[in-house]
Amino acid sequence: MSEFSALVLSLPTRNSTLRMRLWRALKDSGCGVLRDGVYLLPEASAGVLAGMEAEIRGHGGFATTLALKARTEAQLAEFRKLFDRGADYGALVKRIESAKASLARLGARRAQTEIRRLEKALAKLAAIDFFAGEAKAQAQAAFAALKSAYQALYAGGEPRFSRRALRHLDAARYRKRVWATRKSPWVDRLASGWLIRRFIDRDAKFAWIARPSECPKKAVGFDFDGAEFTHVGNRVTFEVLVNSFALENDPALASIGAAVHFLDVGGIPVHDARALETMLKGAREKARSDDALLAEACRIFDLLYSGYGAASLAS
């Protein structure tokens, strides 16, 4: 999608009612702001801008709608940034998670009302997400988890729909093992290695492989195609390990997981993610082997975990 429509406008200075109505219409339609008085929408939504143009002209203002086409991929990327909904999805996911935590307190009827309200909010946001990506998938997954939690609490034992559900595993079966993953590890694999050594298998040894066929016969594979632990649905490998070993109720791990998810596959922005990435880059520059890199990364994740844990206690 490289074609857009631009609304160029100048409103009558004294008509505050028109100004407020137009501001709401621009917001609800998902317009990108190119600069003051210039608003963008993908060409498929040009009719919305044409209606605004007619209303502005009818009230004595200036408005014109222009066709706009990106000439280069770089220019197209800049236009698309105007429609980034990541922060909006992030705010919505916080509301969804708050509702999930409050289900028991709300009761069945009020909880159902809140779920319907959040479903409408998600649909409204999705309708103006013209370049949908990972953030939308995360919000949909969070909402699906909310509905599942509601069903578990109030559905009287009725079976629930399952999509290759993750199951809790016996950690004792995964102790003193060799864990294999792709060499030159980066964020998800480093975070997973730390999680394995810190919470799952303190005596873990790691094999760094170039391709899946090199995985040692009795090793536990992670973060590669065909591995025992890898991406599932909307979860990256770190998040899969957290859920598989019943660690999902640890708020510090949840915070780390959100940062790892964002750095690995994108989606909802996480405040600390870029700082984490910078520190891991420094570790990569310093380390002379994959084992040394993991050791440095473990120190970074230990500090991050302690910081998140302290913040959780303080709140």
Q: 97 and 73, same structural domain?
A: no
Q: 136 and 27, same structural domain?
A: no
User: Phi/psi at 269 (nearest 5 deg)?
Assistant: -60, 145
Domain count, the chain: 3
What is residue 161's predicted lDDT score, i.e. its pLDDT? 34
Non-local CB neighbours of 264 within 8 Å, separated by 6+ positions: 187, 188, 236, 238
Q: Is the model's pLDDT at 148 over the cut of 50? A: yes
Q: Is the model's pLDDT at 157 over the cut of 50? A: no
Q: 195 and 308, same structural domain?
A: yes
Q: Is residue 166 a part of any domain in this protein?
A: no
- Greater pLDDT, 311 or 185: 185
What is residue 159's predicted lDDT score, i.e. its pLDDT? 35
Domain that holds residue 268: 171-314
Res. 167 pLDDT band, cuts 50 70 90: confident
Q: 67 and 201, same structural domain?
A: no
Return the percentage of the chain with pLDDT > 90, whole number: 68
Q: 307 and 204, same structural domain?
A: yes
The pairing of beta strand 62-69 with beta strand 3-10: antiparallel
Q: Of 81, 104, 136, at which residue does a domain stop?
A: 81
Q: Which of 42, 133, 23, 45 is nearest to 85 (CA)?
A: 133
